[in-house]
Structure 1
Amino acid sequence: MNAERLMQVILAPVVTEKTTNIADKYRQVTFRVLSDATKIEVKAAVELLFNVKVDSVSIFNRKGKVKRFGRFIGHRRNEKKAYVSLSDGHEINFAEVV
């Protein structure tokens, strides 16, 4: 895989109350990824960027909600999330990574 492509696969970490609980309980980290990213690409990108060992990756496609803006109808963007399970002894702390 191309290192340049792997640097673009991960868009942002998802840091919410729910994902923080998942990280504490199951050693999983959640990322927003490109819409055409595969599990293999996400695994390689996380291992390259954060120097950790990844056990597995689960991908979740979330459809954007249809919302009304006054009399206009629009919708939020579709989003692809990756839940990354880390091996024993590995962790990613977003407070330290800048």
Structure 2
Amino acid sequence: MNCIQKPILTEKASLLTEKSNRYAFRVDHKANKAEIKKAVEDMFNVVVKSVNTMVVVPKTKSRYTKAGNITGRAAKYKKAIITLKDGETIDFYSTI
């Protein structure tokens, strides 16, 4: 089972990468920290120092249409913040 879905490439995540060598990934909701650590180490050939996980709460969205006010929710997902050992890096753009 591949628990890593995709990397999160936002401004906040890139600041984490530059300052403290941490990377953000969107992961499977059922994956635990040990599975995430093993998947990152196997996929990118790096040494993982620590893994922090969180479930991102879905935001409510609403818009006004001819039929009236329509409300809905975005999907929730699990995010993992990976801290690598000093000197290790992950290059997401090398495979493009």
TM-score (norm 2): 0.90
Match of 1:50 among 44, 56, 77: 44
Q: Aligned Cα RMSD in Å?
A: 1.0
**CA positional deviation for 1:97:** 3.2
Percent identity, aligned pairs only, is: 36
CA deviation digits over 1:77-97, x for unaligned, max 9? 001100000012211011213
Secondary structure of the corresponding residue to residue 93 of structure 2: coil
Structure 1: state its 5+ residue gaps: none
Task: Give the 4+ runs in structure 1 shifted more than 3 A.
Answer: none
- Specify which structure has the higher proportion of strand: 2
- Worse overlay, 64-73 or 44-53: 64-73
Question: Larger Cα Rg: Structure 1 or Structure 2?
Answer: 2
CA deviation digits over 1:22-55, x for unaligned, max 9? 0011110100001111011100000010000000
1:87-98 mapped onto 2 (5 Å cutoff):
87-98=85-96
Structure 2: state its 5+ residue gaps: none
Letter in 2 for 1:90: E
Secondary structure of the corresponding residue to residue 95 of structure 1: helix
In structure 2, distance between residues paired with 1:39 and 1:62: 16
**CA positional deviation for 1:73:** 1.4
